Amino acid sequence: MPELPEVEVTRRSFALKIEGARVRSVRLGQPLRWPLGCNGEDLIGRRIASVRRRGKYLLLDFEQGMLLIHLGMSGSLRFMDSLPPAGKHDHFDLVTTQGVLRLHDPRRFGAVVYASSESDPVAIKLLGHLGMEPLGQSESSFALLVFIKELKHRNASIKQVLLAGDVVVGVGNIYASESLFWAGIRPATRASRLTRPKIERLRSAIIDVLSKAVERGGSTLRDFSNADGESGHFQMDAMVYGRQGQACKACGTLIKQIRQGQRSTFYCPNCQVG
């Protein structure tokens, strides 16, 4: 599924193009995970002020109100001057004066939800539980002391804590495995047992891995592409993810795979010792 880097790459690929546009029409296809929450006609004429990201949600801000967009398990956005007629899996079109934004989602786990503001109960329900932003603009957005405090109270494995998203957002399955490799931490280690130096290394690794993934256009394991239709290439740089049975690029030890919470985890038993 699209993770934080893929969502951020998607945002960057159309945010400036759609900024300042006015909505001309809205087309709804088959129902998505949640209802839109307003009549599509109510959005006509509204000006798009900006496109932000919170975790894996894209926040499309109007001068009044906002759309919260989630790509779900298999969703992707396209933005073009004009798009061909909607297909079976094209479930939302936002037609604007500067182009058409379309959500394509074969499995329909994605969502487009209207909220009057971030203080709207709808927005709070979707965003209120999210943890710190690892790619925020300020040091305080992913504060080390808060990270240490939160991990010290978690007895679950560090991999599962990262995936939960209530401590730090967006570190999905691919990037959790990669971050733990660069931090030298075994994925099954209890979060509460990590020392401060290890937590510091992990925080730095998360920031570095996610930043590199954004630079590489995200990861395309199946069919991810940004709003311009371009695929990502971070998977080519992976040190452990998807490399079970292959030699570690750092030490030559064979990469192992285990199951954690019904998800595959990859690690090097030599490089990740604690």
Q: How far apart are CA 53 and CA 95, in angstroms?
A: 21
Active-site entry in 2, 5, 134, 187: 2
Q: Is 3 designated active site?
A: yes
Mean pLDDT score of the chain, rounded to an integer? 91
Claim to verify: residue 106 and residue 174 sit in the same structural domain? no
Active-site entry in 12, 22, 33, 263: 263
Identify the domain containing residue 230 by its residue range: 139-267
Query: Does the pLDDT value for residue 236 go beyond 80?
Result: no
Q: Cβ(158)–Cβ(185) under 8 Å?
A: yes
Q: Is 121 designated active site?
A: no
- 155 band by pLDDT with thresholds 50, 70 and 90: very high
Query: Does the pLDDT value for residue 152 go beyond 90?
Result: yes
Active-site entry in 17, 53, 56, 154: 56
Claim to verify: residue 172 and residue 218 sit in the same structural domain? yes
Claim to verify: residue 39 and residue 153 sit in the same structural domain? no
pTM: 0.90
Claim to verify: residue 183 and residue 152 sit in the same structural domain? yes
Active-site entry in 3, 6, 133, 150: 3
The two three-digit tokens of residue 240, written as one number: 């452990």
Q: Is 2 designated active site?
A: yes
Please identify, among 67, 99, 127, the residue that sits at the C-terminal boundary of a domain: 127
Claim to verify: residue 109 and residue 188 sit in the same structural domain? no
* 260 located within any domain: yes
Claim to verify: residue 71 and residue 178 sit in the same structural domain? no
Claim to verify: residue 121 and residue 159 sit in the same structural domain? no
Nearest-Å Rg of the Cα atoms of the chain is 20
Domain count, the chain: 2
Quick: pLDDT tens for 25-41: 999 999 999 999 999 99
* 133 located within any domain: no
Tell me the three state secondary structure of residue 22: strand
Of 1-5, 128-132, 174-178, 221-225, the poorest mean pLDDT is in 221-225
- 50 band by pLDDT with thresholds 50, 70 and 90: very high
Please identify, among 81, 104, 127, the residue that sits at the C-terminal boundary of a domain: 127
Q: Is 263 designated active site?
A: yes
* 134 located within any domain: no
Claim to verify: residue 100 and residue 51 sit in the same structural domain? yes
Claim to verify: residue 169 and residue 242 sit in the same structural domain? yes
Q: How far apart are CA 167 and CA 149, in angstroms?
A: 10
Instruction: Check which CATH number belongs to the domain holding 94 and give it.
Output: 3.20.190.10
Instruction: Check which CATH number belongs to the domain holding 198 and give it.
Output: 1.10.8.50
- 222 band by pLDDT with thresholds 50, 70 and 90: low
For 135, half-sphere exposure in the C-beta direction (CA atoms, 13 angstrom radius) is: 23
What's the DSSP call for residue 59? E
Claim to verify: residue 11 and residue 112 sit in the same structural domain? yes
